[in-house]
Structure 1
Amino acid sequence: AQLQEERKDHQDYILSWIHDVKVPIAGSRLIMENGAGKPAEVLIDKLEDELGKIDSYVEQALYYSRIDAFSQDYFITEVDLPAIAKDSVKKVAKLFIHKRIRPNLEEVTHSVSSDSKWLAYIVNQVVANALTYTGSGGTITFRSEESDAEKRLLIQDTGIGIPPEELGRVFDKGFTGSAGRTHHKSTGLGLYLAKQMALKLGHDLSITSAPGEGTTVTLHFPKVRRYNDLRG
């Protein structure tokens, strides 16, 4: 029964992914068809946006396919959180500029034990989500903290927030919530994948939010770790 369910999940994901990736492909065709007489710079800029969407979908599919074989695909080192935060902003710099959202990186200082590739993907998913639900002129703030038990990376946005009744479900597979339904087509896999990866690395993800007050996603890095316990 579990195998059948996993198979169905896999098929559902593939169908959803195909639907999603066709949207920017169709968008690219429209840009080319309607591009007569427009400056090349404008067309290139728009096409780059669509290619960026395709690239993010392909990356998501790659990580989705790897998650079951995780134990063979990670390497724990000391990872610099300021560098991870800076790279995540750089990756979607055009979106920050386009939406006039200000990234604040001044309060990130710590380094943590993690896999840099997987950690970067987790942070990228959280940032992509924050960008989607933060309006023009908002701010996304990165902050790191340390206590006796753990280090934390907090990513805080000034976006629309999440209703209390949906907060406990944001990491569920396929959950998009009311905001996802009204703002854009969403597979609801970004935060699900981020949470699963965090747990496999021995980290955790938590979220606090209120409608109209923004959202804070916290990545937890416990200090007492046994790397041998990491299992795919």
Structure 2
Amino acid sequence: MKRVIKSLLQYIPWLLLLLGIDLFAALLLWLADVQAFYALMIVIVLVTVLLFTLVCGVLIHLERKKEQAFLTFLHNPDEYHEELLLETVSVAQREYIRQLGKTLRDKQLAYTELQTQLSDYEEYVESWAHETKTPLSLLTLLLDNRRDELSPIVSFKLDYIRNRIQESVDQMLFYARVKSTRKDYLFEHICIRMCIEDVLDDYRPLLDEKQFQIQFRLSDDTVYTDRRGPYFLLGQIIGNSIKYCGEGPELCFSSFQRDGCYVLSIKDNGVGVRSCDLPYVFEKGFTGDSGEGRKKATGMGLYLAKEIAEGLNIILSANSEWGNGFEMQVAFPVVDENPY
């Protein structure tokens, strides 16, 4: 009803003019013959109501036809739909419609080209990341098989380099996935404890070098999510714990239930984050002011972790006290396997 009223409002001056002409004709009839006017008064009123109803109906029909043609034109602004829209508008409006059509087609063409470039970029990044993993795998194999032939210092440096390259490759790959319009998630039940142990194995040389004490207070529960997401999240969190550890480093994994979610807590005793920086740890490019080590950070790890988590309906929250460690809580929604 509101749309009908809005459609008629633009024709108010013309409707008032029509009403004025009708009243003027009635006035002339009254001046010419009062008796004839009274005799025809009912007919005049009925004809006036009928006339206005007919005019309003035609106007509403034309406005709806114009609206439908305009919406179709916006959805597909080609020349065919532009001509259909031009048939429903006045001559004065046609030049504006032609300019609008040309602009929309130019924007659509530019958008299509941009989408093609973005798709090519995504494919290139994914191909590059997978190709880079081959020499990384060879380096890992070399370190595993020839570690006894290397000095501890050289072995540690190679492990550090390998992990930094691996982190950078993973970040680039996941950044491309986050910005991609295609979401290739594969949801399945995974055991969080096994996932943590797999990620810890990747960082084992660095953890051993720093003499980390690992504590588990986990249940053997499973969560329903995409496997790659938790692996990436855990890798970023554990990597940060190694980078910003202190004396006698510890890493504690615990779990509990809260508000219908399975919550995984990852807590270390490192340098932590200043209270003024804590609200911004998930911001893109934010590194904070928590020591010399953060000056070399990119600020992308936790940002990507947050983006991946949102895509998987996982909630990340950070807690820290400056100089007294950092805690990340990862809340997985519990999926009811038998909803009915």
Please classify the TM superposition score into its range, dividing by the shorter chain length: 0.7 to 0.9
Unaligned 5+ residue runs, structure 2? 1-110, 112-117, 126-147
Displacement of 1:150: 1.0
1:61-76 superposed matches below 5 A: 61-69=172-180, 71-76=182-187
Q: What SS class does the counterpart of residue 72 from structure 1 fall into?
A: coil
Match for residue 41 of structure 1? 150
Say which is worse superposed, 50-59 or 136-145, in terms of deviation. Answer: 50-59
CA distance in 1, matches of 2:252, 2:219: 9
Number of matched pairs: 191
2:190 counterpart residue number: 79
Paired residue for 1:145? Answer: 256
Shift of 1:71: 4.7
| 1:114 and 2:225 are equivalent in the alignment | yes
- In terms of mean alpha carbon deviation, does 53-62 or 119-128 score higher? 53-62
Letter of the 2:242 partner, please give it: L
Q: Cα distance, 1:84 vs. partner?
A: 1.0
Correspondent of 2:286 among 175, 178, 195? 175
Distance in 1 between the 2:332 and 2:240 partners?
21
Separation in 2, partners of 1:70, 1:92: 32
Match of 1:203 among 287, 295, 314: 314
Moved more, 164-173 or 178-187: 178-187
CA distance in 1, matches of 2:181, 2:252: 30
RMSD: 2.6
Name 2:163's counterpart in structure 1: 52
Name the counterpart of 2:244: 133
The 2-side partners of 1:221 and 1:165 are apart by 27
Larger Cα-atom Rg: 2
CA contact (8 A) 2:156 2:205 kept: no
The higher-RCO structure (CA 8 Å, 6+ apart) is 1
Provide closer, same or farther for how the CA distance between residues 149 and 70 of structure 1 changes in structure 2, counting only shifts above 3 A: farther
**What TM-score do the two structures reach when normalised by structure 1?**
0.74
Percent sequence identity is: 29
Give the unaligned 5+ runs of structure 1: 15-38, 226-232
Within 5 Å, give how 1:15-26 maps onto structure 2: none
Q: Name the one with the larger helix percent.
A: 2
Query: What is the Cα deviation at residue 223 of structure 1?
Result: 3.0
In the alignment, structure 1 residue 98 sits paired with structure 2 residue 204? no
- Is the alpha carbon distance of 1:186 and 1:203 closer, same or farther for their aligned partners in structure 2, counting shifts above 3 Å? same
The answer (yes or no) to whether the contact 2:244–2:293 under 8 Å persists in 1 is: no
Amino acid at match of 1:147: R
SS of alignment partner, residue 276 of structure 2: helix
Q: Deviations over 1:44-71 (max 9, x none)?
A: 5533432332222112111111112375
CA apart distance, 1:220: 0.9
CA contact (8 A) 1:96 1:103 kept: no
Aligned residues of 1:77 and 1:115 also touching (Cα < 8 A):
yes
Name the SS of the counterpart of 2:246 in structure 1.
coil
User: Take 1:108 and 1:88, find their aligned partners in 2: how far apart are those partners?
Assistant: 18
Deviations 1:147-166 (A, max 9, x none): 34211011001111111111
Pair 1:191-2:302 in alignment: yes
Aligned residue type for 2:150: E
Q: What is the TM-score with the length of structure 2 in the denominator? A: 0.52
User: 1:34 aligns to what?
Assistant: none
